[in-house]
Structure 1
Amino acid sequence: MAGGRSRAAGQDTAREASVAERDEGAVGEVAGGGPRTDPGSEVTLRPQSLMLTFLGNFVLGGDVCVYSGSIIEVFGRTGVGEHATRSTLTRMVGRGLLQRRREGRRMYFGLTDRAAAILRDGEHRIWKQGAVNDDWDGTWTLLAFSLPESSQRQRHDLRSQLTWAGFGPLIGGLWIAPGHADVTAITADRELGSHVRVFRSTADPATDIPRMVHETWDLATPAAGYAAFLDRWSAFADGRDATGVDELAVKLRLLTEWLQIVRADPHLPIQHLPADWPAAAAEDVFRRADARVDAASRALAEELLETAPLRG
């Protein structure tokens, strides 16, 4: 999303992604059965991470709420049991991400505005921003902040938001991100806004940008994520490992895993990354794997999901 993202949405997106990483009930086995053999099933994913993927792909933009029983059925296909699914739905209601509505004996769940903003951020990162920053114009966003030592909570929140937005710590309280990074949520924050200063600039020709990139950002983590993704999904994208797969389960696992990887990537200019940077190859595999299951997964979701108009 561009600079129109609200202060609350910017803060909540970072926080909810962090919560999803800590959420209890890792998915590794089918409820009541043995390990899944679908592509990507060997990866530990959290129920809330899968739930956000489910909501972003099959509920966002539909102005509907979904019957809990059909959500449970969908999640059973990914290896998430009924108890874990119900607990995830309840926690997300408590966090203001879902609203629930009873129709007779049935409980339905729909998105809140807060959840919609978070999901659109993920949609933007996957389908619009992409994994490769190959159109950088040479501009950097510099953000300087000064907070008293007593403001530990604000300092932690600010660093979390900066990391989420692709910033890295250049030196002291000066952080840097490529391009025109969106800092609307930070500058509009009444607690933080008065403590930050933001500049757009270009580097002097004498600056060793590749060295700065290596010293400022953790490149090993996203590189390892892309490499592991290639190992897990290349065969499926190429048309192998396709016998008897559950397209809906594969779709949810594929997108959940991919979003976690691209969110760990600060999206640095490709010309200042190692020549063997694996993002482009991984993104090609992701898109080809998604193309293999997209139509079938949507048909399955339409068949399985019982919906009602969203109200309130």
Structure 2
Amino acid sequence: MNTRSMIFTLYGDYIRHYGNKIWIGSLISLLKEFGHNEQAVRAAISRMYKQGWVESKKKGNKSYYFLTERGEKRMEEAAERIFKFNPEDWDGKWRMLMYTIPETKRNARDEFRKELVWSGFGAMSTSTWISPNNLEKQVRDLIEKYEIETYVDFFVSEYKGPNDSRELVEKCWNLDEINEKYNEFITYYSQKYVIDKNKIQRGDMSDAECFVERTNLVHEYRKFLFVDPGLPEQLLPDKWLGSHAGSLFSEYYRELAEPASRFFEKVFEDGNELKHKDKAYNAMEHPLIME
């Protein structure tokens, strides 16, 4: 797996709950469990630093890395976005965004487009994007972030046909492809869950192994943030597998949560301070978990 992506997963699922800061030595020790060597970890964290995701701080001869405001915001957005798998009732309205961003702002335009996909918008055309979800705040933040107020128009409207809303969805998202990804997740992890649950109950699975499996599980599940727009139930196909995948994730995560956290803390306390752990944090109540 990509070292940089795994570091993001560790920040999102662990580090941000422990003061949002970690000694590079601890990060290297954690990533070794996944087969990433020291050189790869240092290169990845350096790249994240240059991209503005993390900042560094020296304490004695040790270097510590913590998420920037931008990085923290992205982690919070990701946690909130997870609730798309259990969406609220649809208000029947569509959010439509249109833009004519000039070639002189090409980089901003490309980044803006990626952010729209991340937020759950679907493309009707190159410069016209829609979503049934209430994303007004995200849109305002993005327009301000990329300084493109002059080039963007945003509407909240009703769809009057001539087709129905589900046909509109089919034009903008390939739900069959997304559903197949859910099916692959369920097929692989349902069997793995049963095997690991039995191993844990027999005491045949170490805390380190649980840490690896929990991190891998979150890493794979969070990929749906990039492909599933989180449509309201009214717009989903009858045999949608998103909820099934979410329930499987929740059950598997709960089995792994406590031993995985024990291992993380054992590694973390060497070079870091556990006193910075968020007292309200409980791995069994992870924001990804569906009740």
Q: Which amino acid aligns with 1:76?
A: K
Q: Is residue 232 from structure 1 mapped to residue 195 from structure 2 by the alignment?
A: no
After superposition, residues 237-256 of structure 1 pair within 5 angstroms as: 237-238=193-194, 240=196, 243=199, 244=205, 246-256=209-219
Q: Is the Cα contact below 8 Å between 2:197 and 2:255 reproduced in 1? A: no
**What do residues 267-306 of structure 1 show as CA deviations (whole Å, max 9, x unaligned)?**
1122222211110111111111111111111111111113
Query: In structure 1, what is the equivalent of residue 220 of structure 2?
Result: 257
Q: Which amino acid aligns with 2:30?
A: V
Q: Is the Cα contact below 8 Å between 1:236 and 1:242 reproduced in 2? A: no
Query: In structure 2, what is the equivalent of residue 287 of structure 1?
Result: 250
Q: Which amino acid aligns with 1:218?
A: N
Specify which of 169, 174, 180 is matched with residue 134 of structure 2: 180
**What do residues 158-201 of structure 1 show as CA deviations (whole Å, max 9, x unaligned)?**
32222222111224632211121120223324641111111112
Q: Is residue 277 from structure 1 mapped to residue 240 from structure 2 by the alignment?
A: yes
**What do residues 222-245 of structure 1 show as CA deviations (whole Å, max 9, x unaligned)?**
222211111121123345575336
Between stretches 180-189 and 233-242, larger displacement belongs to 233-242
Q: Which amino acid aligns with 1:153?
A: N
Identity across matched positions, percent: 24
Q: Is the Cα contact below 8 Å between 1:187 and 1:194 reproduced in 2? A: no
Q: Is residue 299 from structure 1 mapped to residue 262 from structure 2 by the alignment?
A: yes
Q: Is residue 219 from structure 1 mapped to residue 175 from structure 2 by the alignment?
A: yes
Provide the C-alpha distance between the structure 2 equivalents of 1:295 and 1:133, rounded to a whole number of angstroms.
28
Alignment gaps of 5+ in structure 2: 200-204, 277-291
| Aligned-residue offset at 1:151 | 4.6
Partner-residue secondary structure (3-state), 1:66: strand
**What do residues 84-129 of structure 1 show as CA deviations (whole Å, max 9, x unaligned)?**
1121122222222222223333222222222111111122223xx1
Provide the C-alpha distance between the structure 2 equivalents of 1:283 and 1:58, rounded to a whole number of angstroms.
20
Partner-residue secondary structure (3-state), 1:78: coil
TM-score of the pair, normalised by structure 2: 0.82
After superposition, residues 30-69 of structure 1 pair within 5 angstroms as: 45-69=1-25
Q: Is the Cα contact below 8 Å between 2:95 and 2:131 reproduced in 1? A: yes
Let me know the Cα RMSD of the aligned residues.
Answer: 2.3
Provide the C-alpha distance between the structure 2 equivalents of 1:184 and 1:50, rounded to a whole number of angstroms.
30
| Aligned-residue offset at 1:55 | 0.9
TM-score of the pair, normalised by structure 1: 0.77
Provide the C-alpha distance between the structure 2 equivalents of 1:68 and 1:154, rounded to a whole number of angstroms.
32
Query: In structure 2, what is the equivalent of residue 125 of structure 1?
Result: 81
Distance 1:193 1:186, change over 3 A: farther
Provide the C-alpha distance between the structure 2 equivalents of 1:94 and 1:104, rounded to a whole number of angstroms.
23
Provide the C-alpha distance between the structure 2 equivalents of 1:112 and 1:187, rounded to a whole number of angstroms.
20
Partner-residue secondary structure (3-state), 2:89: coil
Provide the C-alpha distance between the structure 2 equivalents of 1:234 and 1:145, rounded to a whole number of angstroms.
43
Query: In structure 2, what is the equivalent of residue 84 of structure 1?
Result: 40
Alignment gaps of 5+ in structure 1: 1-44
Distance 1:273 1:172, change over 3 A: same
Partner-residue secondary structure (3-state), 1:188: helix
